[in-house]
Structure 1
Amino acid sequence: MALIITDECINCDVCEPECPNSAISQGDEIYEIDPNLCTECVGHYDTPQCVEVCPVDCIPKDPDHVESKEQLMEKYKHITADA
């Protein structure tokens, strides 16, 4: 399941550099996560790094992009193969 940044985001800039897949970018008003690049850090870390550093707890799982750990690992393999 990809993650999503909610409107509680305070644009503190700490999440973007922590993302190993470059899935986080500045949107029109708040940071956004590209669900095609988000693997919840599967393949890189044990926990999502953006969630770890977020000071306002505004990065939940995205119910519109439900994926299993296996699917996230396959996405990780695809993303890193293209790199």
Structure 2
Amino acid sequence: MAVITSKIGVQNHRGVCHVVAVEPWGEDFTLLPGEALEIIAVGDAATPWFNLVEWDGSSQVYCEDTAIFKVMQGTLELKCGHNRQPSSSE
């Protein structure tokens, strides 16, 4: 069985933090100004692909045709909640 990967990069060129949510798992990763990450999706039956939805202050990246993904920043694999900022209501 062949393993097929796809990746998408997200860069934050804003002057403020930017949240990247990976869906449908709801995992969040916060990019500080000037940071970037890559989402790598793995498939076995079809080539994974992405839908990107932009919001003020956040991006939602939907991984399609996959059940497995990882988020990388260079050689470091990021975990859900990376750089999460306290909410303004706390």
Normalized against structure 2, the TM-score is what? Answer: 0.31
Q: Is the radius of gyration larger for structure 1 or structure 2? A: 2
Q: Which has the higher helix share?
A: 1
Normalising by structure 1, we get a TM-score of 0.32
Q: Would you tell me which structure has more strand in proportion to its own residues?
A: 2
Higher relative contact order (CA 8 A, sep 6+): 1
